[in-house]
Amino acid sequence: MTPNWKHYPQTWYAIAIARQLKPKQILSGQLGGLHYVVYRSESGSLKAADAFCPHMGAHLKGGSVVQEAIACGLHGCHIIPQSQDAAAPVTQAVQQGCCLATRAWHVIERFGLVWLYPPAPQAPAIPPFNMVNEHDHLWTHTDRLIAADWRAMICNGFDISHMQTVHQRQIVGEPQFFRLPDSGNRPQGFYMDYQSRVLEHGGWSSAVIQKLSGGRLALRHTCIGTAVMVQSKVGAFQTTGIFATLPQDAPDTPPEQRRTRAFAAIAVPKAAPYARAQLFAARMLYLAFLRKDFGVVENMRMRLDGVADIGVQQVSAFQSELAEIQPEP
């Protein structure tokens, strides 16, 4: 394993399907050992904050949403995410309904997913995949827990050699690699453009792709942090798939024991003919494609030293440049 590939890079993480987070509902979790709560206020806006109450440290998932705040379950203070610094200890007496500020996390809703950016000394990177206009597309979503290290899953998205063994695709010509412009002085992402052709014996999904494409597919895979966007042109059909991985485990968990929640947001242009039918077909085809990957990455103990695959080398080099989430002092 390349030691520089961080378990929890400082980046945007998809943590939920947005329509599943209803007003007044609170979600909680951790990223790199930093614990958060995310909730939808009564007015419907998304808020995110440190998980522990600045008063005496009760976990705010046990509270309740009141207007734009969380009323802490222990003493009833209204906790308002607003500062960019960790909250100072509260020394004055508190009473039910008093207001306390706490550290906010950056949270946005994009492509039908809720994305979080852990607190950092620098402003967050620009939102993920901002080159795609989500409002021009129809979207469908799903998520699933997988017994795999997210890094093996992202690596898989750039592994040229597995295209033939797992997906029955042959790469045509040489893949091309490009960097996205940096965000501030941080690397934002990179992408791989390539063409492939469908080989035989790939099952029903490959047969459908072969029929639609006339044999040749043009693809772009863009990696930003722990997520990959796949844009494909299959004959006259264009699809976009965003696959965002959310690591579940402590950094010292052995790779073959790690679990990852994977979110998929799949889209076709609204202007496409029979767009809803196309979206249904795109979803079936992407998920069939991914099922083949899950079979090979589950319980993998990934090692990258000496690997010659150009796609694996490129994604490893990019990942090694990302900063890591800084745990609390």
Say if residues 146 and 294 touch (Cβ distance below 8 Å): yes
H or E element that contains 190 = strand 190-198
Q: Which is nearer to ligand FES, 77 or 312 (CB)?
A: 77
> What is the distance between the alpha carbons of residues 312 and 221, in angstroms, rounded to a whole number?
13
| Interface residue with Fe ion, options 10, 102, 156, 205 (CB under 5 A) | 156
Rounded to the nearest angstrom, the gap between the alpha carbon of residue 257 and the centroid of all alpha carbons in its chain is: 20
Q: Establish if 293 lies at the interface with Fe ion (CB under 5 A).
A: yes
Q: Establish if 66 lies at the interface with ligand FES (CB under 6 A).
A: no
Annotate each residue in 77-96 with x if it binds ligand FES (CB under 6 A) or - if it does not, as one string. x----------------x--
What distances in angstroms separate CA 202 from CA 153, 171, 285, 318, one per listed residue?
A: 20, 15, 12, 31
Q: Establish if 101 lies at the interface with ligand FES (CB under 6 A).
A: no
DSSP string, 12-36: -EEEEEGGGS-TT-EEEEEETTEEE
What distances in angstroms separate CA 314 from CA 5, 222, 310, one per listed residue?
A: 12, 12, 6
Nearest-approach distance from CB 167 to Fe ion, in angstroms? 6
Say if residues 266 and 243 touch (Cβ distance below 8 Å): no
Task: Select from Fe ion, ligand FES, none the partner in contact with residue 156, using the beta carbon and a kind-dependent cut-off of 5 to 8 Å.
Answer: Fe ion
Q: Which is nearer to ligand FES, 71 or 307 (CB)?
A: 71
What distances in angstroms separate CA 11 from CA 8, 14, 31, 66, 139, one per listed residue?
A: 8, 10, 10, 29, 23
Q: Establish if 55 lies at the interface with ligand FES (CB under 6 A).
A: yes
| Interface residue with ligand FES, options 75, 106, 220, 259 (CB under 6 A) | 75
Task: Select from ligand FES, Fe ion, none the partner in contact with residue 293, using the beta carbon and a kind-dependent cut-off of 5 to 8 Å.
Answer: Fe ion
| Interface residue with ligand FES, options 17, 27, 66, 74 (CB under 6 A) | 74
Instruction: Candidates 49-57, 118-126, 279-287, 307-315: pick the segment binding ligand FES (CB under 6 A).
Output: 49-57
Strands 99-103 and 78-83: parallel
What letter would DSSP give residue 199? P
Q: Establish if 53 lies at the interface with ligand FES (CB under 6 A).
A: yes
Site for ligand FES in 149-168 (CB under 6 A): none
Q: Which is nearer to ligand FES, 56 or 277 (CB)?
A: 56
SS3 11: coil
Q: Which is nearer to ligand FES, 55 or 261 (CB)?
A: 55
Q: Which two tokens stand for residue 71?
A: 């009323």
Task: Select from Fe ion, ligand FES, none the partner in contact with residue 72, using the beta carbon and a kind-dependent cut-off of 5 to 8 Å.
Answer: ligand FES
The residues that touch Fe ion, with contacts defined as CB under 5 A, are: 156, 293
The residues that touch ligand FES, with contacts defined as CB under 6 A, are: 53, 55-56, 58, 72, 74-75, 77, 94
